[in-house]
Amino acid sequence: MSKALPIFIVTVGLAVVAPLSAAAASGAAAWVKEYPQSDGSPARSCATCHTADLTKTGKHAKTGKSIEPLAPSVNPQRLTDQKKVDKWLLRNCRWTLGRECTADEKAVFISYIKSQ
């Protein structure tokens, strides 16, 4: 009976971790996907401003303003304030995708960012 407990924990752990890994992988793909712009400007992706490496400082494509790294591993303040997360997802989805992100899109972006 003592051997069953560690096996059970590992099995439960894998079941919990697998969906997060899949969401982060989906988020990584969505992060670099380019979205055509209705105004004729060049296509954009999240990586256009935030870079493909979330541990690095980004730069806004239009204003040139620096954007602190999004990776919580190097910027522990990221994703700690829900109001800021909601505000920036709304703005950035509208600017990049040309519309608000769906709940699923937000979830995979957040999973990806958290994995960095």
pLDDT (average), residues 55-68 = 96
For the chain, the structural domain boundaries read 4-114
SS (H, E, C) 53-114: CCCCCEECCCCCCEECCCCCCCCCCCCCCHHHHHHHHHHHHHHHHCCCCCHHHHHHHHHHHH
The answer, yes or no, to whether residue 3 has pLDDT greater than 80, is no
Q: Provide the whole-model pTM.
A: 0.78
Q: Which CATH code of 3.30.160.60, 1.20.1260.10, 3.40.50.300, 1.10.760.10 fits the domain covering 4-114?
A: 1.10.760.10
Q: What is the pLDDT of residue 22?
A: 87
pLDDT (average), residues 14-31 = 72
Q: What is the pLDDT of residue 77?
A: 94
Q: What is the pLDDT of residue 29?
A: 94
pLDDT (average), residues 83-98 = 96
